Structure 1
Amino acid sequence: MISIGNFFFKYRNFVFIFLYLALALPSPPIFTRAVFGSHYYLWPISIGLLITVTGQLIRGASIGLVYIVRGGRDGKVYAENLVTAGMFNHCRNPLYVGNILMLAGVGVLSNSVLYTAVFIPLFLFIYQAIVLAEEQFLRAKFGPEFEAYCQRVNRWLPKIQGLRATFEHHRFNARRWILKEYNTQFVWLAGISLVLLLTYPQLTGHDPELRNKILGGALLLLSIVYGGLKYAKKSGRMTAE
């Protein structure tokens, strides 16, 4: 598993591209008109958005509360420090939990049995392998400190107790969250827009022309915001502090 984890760690960014492309594969629906009635589409939309937004909130809190040096150097697991504060005081892998919920929510949003039953379990397997590889590195580098951390904090299931105190103790850095996450936010929001408008013609009254106008406008707006944030970051006009 560790060797598999090291392999996928190196190519983990490509995994997301593959998983987003998999949303386009035809699949039987999870929610059907026959079972849930004429407004069946409200079920995958509401449940999917709830799950995926929850994942994004967890990612946002993880990045905004405590500065994280993204793990990895030359395609290999690496870390300067053992981060145990902020959301990492409640779960050892809050960013990965956020990613899983984001993609699982998009799978439900797309109303795809294939995606939720095949690709999400595959994603979980890949992340489990990556985490085991990361833990091997952290255990070798930080020894008893990491072992004590593992005893105190769950690998996957977030601990709710003390969450309010965490937010009171740490100042949420919105600028850092924006600058670190604008790439993820762009892909995520663009994906949601595509899934909603292409999967559910009911939202635009079965009018392809209206759908295309809304979709084009949404993607254009997201692109403008993305370009502005990228320029602000590269030019130094906007910093995390």
Structure 2
Amino acid sequence: MRIVRRLEQDGGFLFRWRSYLPLVIVPVGLPALYQAAQFEALWGERAEDIWMLACILLSIGGLAIRWLTVGFVPAGTSGRNTHEQRASFLNTTGLYSVVRNPLYLGNFVVILGIALATKSWWFVLIVALAYWLYIERIIAAEERFLAAKFGAGYLDWLGVTPAFLPAFRLWKRPAERFSLRTVLRREYNGVLSVGLAYYGLEAITDLAIEGESLRTWFQEDGIWSWSLAAALMLFLTLRTIKKNTRLLHVDGR
């Protein structure tokens, strides 16, 4: 079997399970949290707070890449579908004009922020390598599907647009207007996922590794619980609106 064909077949499997496969690496990250506990002892509490804030902002930047992608695309594209490949249109404007896979780029930036929050260089390298091996196969499967569906038009776009590192000189104005309602309808999962990830990192490090009491943790680091509660409330609110009303529906988006 040709290597490319094997990559495409692996990518088809990974595509269906791409929402859950990143969780496989979580157990590998647990030993890295011991280094996170040592960071404060070496550099101080203020340095740790600044580092965590920078990591959170990086992850929010990754979410923003997703928002700026999803907010400009028409219906039937750039979705969270897992059962099969779907693309009603070929997106070649907006962020798709500078990089072929802006959603996967956004995901990587989110995950990179979370990995850096462990303060472990070896874990960051493992995450980056694992993500590339995983996403390379998904991209191979998607490229085969898109080439078969859109033909020469897709191949022309593929020939000039980089796969993962943006080339901003290629920028083309989005064909659609930005739709905040589309972003709210389709991207509320990401905020909760990021909130859970950082909450889990902080809770495990402070409570399980450093041995801080739950009461003290709530008193001194209550912002983590409040932030998670806000993310959960946003998730439940938007999910309820999406499932029970058409307030977030936009025709053609």
Coarse TM-score class (shorter-chain normalised)? 0.7 to 0.9
Q: For residues 109-162 of structure 1, what are the alpha-carbon distances to aligned partners after superposition, in whole Å with 9 as ceiling and x for unaligned?
A: 222334312133111110011101111121122221111001221111112236
Residues 44-193 of structure 1 mapped to structure 2, 5 A cutoff: 44-69=51-76, 70=78, 75-161=83-169, 163=171, 166=173, 170-193=176-199
**Contact 1:197/1:211, CA 8 A, preserved across alignment:** no
The equivalent of 2:245 in structure 1 is 236
1:217, 1:43 → 2: CA distance? 19
Task: Return closer, same or farther for 1:44/1:173 CA change in 2, 3 Å cut-off.
Answer: same
- Compare 108-117 and 131-140 and name the one that shifted more: 108-117
Runs of 4+ aligned residues of structure 1 deviating over 6 Å after TM superposition are: none
What TM-score does the superposition give when structure 1 sets the normalisation length? Answer: 0.82
What TM-score does the superposition give when structure 2 sets the normalisation length? Answer: 0.78
Q: What secondary structure is seen at the aligned counterpart in 2 of 1:12?
A: coil
Task: Return closer, same or farther for 1:140/1:119 CA change in 2, 3 Å cut-off.
Answer: same
Q: What secondary structure is seen at the aligned counterpart in 2 of 1:3?
A: helix
**Contact 2:11/2:137, CA 8 A, preserved across alignment:** yes
Deviation at 1:62, TM superposition (A): 0.3
Higher relative contact order (CA 8 A, sep 6+): 2
2:166, 2:128 → 1: CA distance? 19
The equivalent of 1:15 in structure 2 is 21
* C-alpha RMSD over aligned residues: 3.1
Over the matched positions of the two proteins, sequence identity in percent amounts to 22
The answer for unaligned runs of 5 or more in structure 2 is 1-6
Q: Residue 26 of structure 1: which of 21, 26, 31 is its match? A: 31
**Contact 2:199/2:225, CA 8 A, preserved across alignment:** no
